[in-house]
Structure formats: structure tokens, C-alpha cells
């Protein structure tokens, strides 16, 4: 959500700040999350492990970086080739946010797989996960829009998000290699 919010900031210089900007961003995020859920669920059926879980975080972290590094040339290219700012912003937000958000979407179903040990409790686990991830989204939204934008550059915030994801990935992999698969339940 933090990234989604900054999306508006990133696109505005090229595509304006009209309502269609938010239409583009929210569409792309919803679409890519939905694919991410599907992929994450599928992936969780094949030898799920904390290491792979950590790799998802690491990949997400790496995929977020281009938003900070290459957004200018990408948007410039789209801006000069597409006259209509609705489709321009849709394409730009796809180019910038689709891949990282698909990967971020994979995290939730994979977490369910790792956390559910007893099918009786699967509903409860899913409930807790939804709680944590949606609460996290809410916090990410308010902290980014109220405070981060006042204190930091957009790219600094994006890099901090990428770094956090990367650290979580490394943490998951380290925990796994230290304790083996026994620790799964504590992921």
C-alpha cells in the first residue's frame, strides 16, 4: 500500500493527478495481486519451505528497485508514445508496478501454507493473516502519506521498502538454515 500510494506521486509529473491516475494504479495493483495470489497458492503446493518463502521476499525486494531506478526513462518513453494520459498512466503503472506486486501477492497464500499445521485451524490462520496483512496495509498507507512524504524523497522511501523486504527474505532463509524445517510453524 505504501508503494501504491507513492505510485500517484511517481506518475503525476507525466500523467497528471487526475482521477484516472488512481484508476490506473488501483487497477494494476488489484490485477497483479490477484495473479500473485494464484501463483503463490500454486507454488505452495510444491515442497513449500521457509527458504523458498524467503526467496519470494528477496525477489520482491529486487523487483521493487527498478521503480526507483528506471521510472523516469520508462515514463518518458510511454509519455512520448501515447498521447492519451489514461492509457499512458495505465501502461506506465503496469510497467512499473505489475511484476513487484505479483510477487508481493504471492506472500499471503504461501504464508497460509507455512502456518497451517492443522486443517481445523486453517480458517483461523487465514483470518490472522488477513488481519496482519490488511492492518499492515493500513499502517503503510497512513505512515507513508502523513509522515514519510514530508520527511523523505520518494526514491528513499521506495528503497527503504525494498531493503525491508530483502532483510525479511534473508531472515527467513537464515532462520531456515539454522533451525531446519522444524521451525516452519514459527514463520
Partner 1 sequence: MRNCLLFLAVLFSVAAHSNVVHEERSLYRNIIVDETGNLRCLKFNTKSSQTSQSCMYKNDPDKLVFNYTKLTFASLLVTDDPKNVLVIGLGGGTLSNVIHELYPAAKIHNVEIDPAVLKVARDYFNFIETDNVTSSVQDGRIFIKRAAIKKQKYDWIILDAFNGDYIPEHLLTKEFFEEVQSVLADGGVIAANTFSSSKLYEHESATYHAVFGDFINVSRANRSNRIILAGIKTIPTQAQLNERISALAPRLKKYDVDIKAISTYMQSTKNNRDWPADTKVLTDQYSPANLLNF
Instruction: Please tell me the distance from the alpha carbon of residue 43 to that of residue 129, in angstroms, as a whole number.
Output: 18
Residue in 127, 153, 160, 180 binding partner 1, rule: CB under 8 A:
153
Q: Does 82 bind partner 1 (CB under 8 A)?
A: no
DSSP structure string for 50-80: HHHHHHHHHHHHHHHHHHHHHHHHHHHHHHH
Where does residue 152 fall: left (phi above 0), alpha (psi -120 to 50 degrees), or beta otherwise? beta
CB of 12 to partner 1, least distance (A): 4
| Residue span 8-27 as binding mask against partner 1, x where in contact by CB under 8 A, dash where not | -x--xxxxxxxx--------
Query: Which grid coordinates belong to 85?
Result: 494520459
Q: For the chain, report the end-to-end CA distance as a whole number of angstroms.
A: 22
Q: Does 152 bind partner 1 (CB under 8 A)?
A: yes
Residue in 27, 94, 122, 155 binding partner 1, rule: CB under 8 A:
155
Q: Does 174 bind partner 1 (CB under 8 A)?
A: no
Instruction: Please tell me the distance from the alpha carbon of residue 58 to that of residue 162, in angstroms, as a whole number.
Output: 9
Residue in 22, 35, 37, 79 binding partner 1, rule: CB under 8 A:
79
Instruction: Please tell me the distance from the alpha carbon of residue 180 to that of residue 49, in angstroms, as a whole number.
Output: 10
Q: Does 87 bind partner 1 (CB under 8 A)?
A: no
Q: Are 66 and 133 in contact (CB under 8 A)?
A: no
Q: Cβ closer to partner 1: 53 or 148?
A: 148
Q: Does 69 bind partner 1 (CB under 8 A)?
A: no
Q: Does 161 bind partner 1 (CB under 8 A)?
A: no
Residue in 34, 70, 77, 80 binding partner 1, rule: CB under 8 A:
80
Report 117-146 residues binding partner 1 (CB under 8 A): 146
Q: Which residues bind partner 1 (CB under 8 A)?
A: 9, 12-19, 79-80, 85, 146, 149-150, 152-155
Amino acid at each position: 500500500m505504501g508503494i501504491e500510494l507513492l505510485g500517484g506521486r511517481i506518475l503525476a509529473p507525466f500523467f497528471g493527478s487526475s482521477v484516472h491516475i488512481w484508476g490506473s494504479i488501483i487497477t494494476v495493483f488489484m490485477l497483479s495481486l490477484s495473479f500473485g495470489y494464484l501463483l503463490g497458492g500454486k507454488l505452495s503446493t510444491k515442497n513449500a519451505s521457509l527458504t523458498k518463502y524467503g526467496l519470494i521476499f528477496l525477489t520482491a525486494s529486487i523487483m521493487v528497485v527498478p521503480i526507483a531506478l528506471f521510472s523516469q526513462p520508462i515514463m518518458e518513453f510511454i509519455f512520448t508514445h501515447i498521447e492519451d494520459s489514461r492509457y499512458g498512466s495505465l501502461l506506465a503503472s503496469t510497467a512499473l508496478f505489475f511484476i513487484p506486486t505479483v510477487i508481493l501477492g504471492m506472500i499471503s497464500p504461501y504464508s497460509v501454507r507455512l502456518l497451517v499445521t492443522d486443517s481445523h485451524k486453517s480458517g483461523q490462520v487465514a483470518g490472522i493473516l488477513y488481519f496482519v496483512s490488511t492492518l499492515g496495509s493500513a499502517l503503510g498507507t497512513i505512515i507513508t502519506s502523513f509522515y514519510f512524504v514530508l520527511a523523505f524523497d520518494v526514491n528513499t522511501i521506495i528503497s527503504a521498502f525494498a531493503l525491508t523486504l530483502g532483510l525479511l527474505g534473508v531472515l527467513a532463509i537464515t532462520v531456515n538454515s539454522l533451525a531446519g524445517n522444524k521451525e516452519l510453524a514459527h514463520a
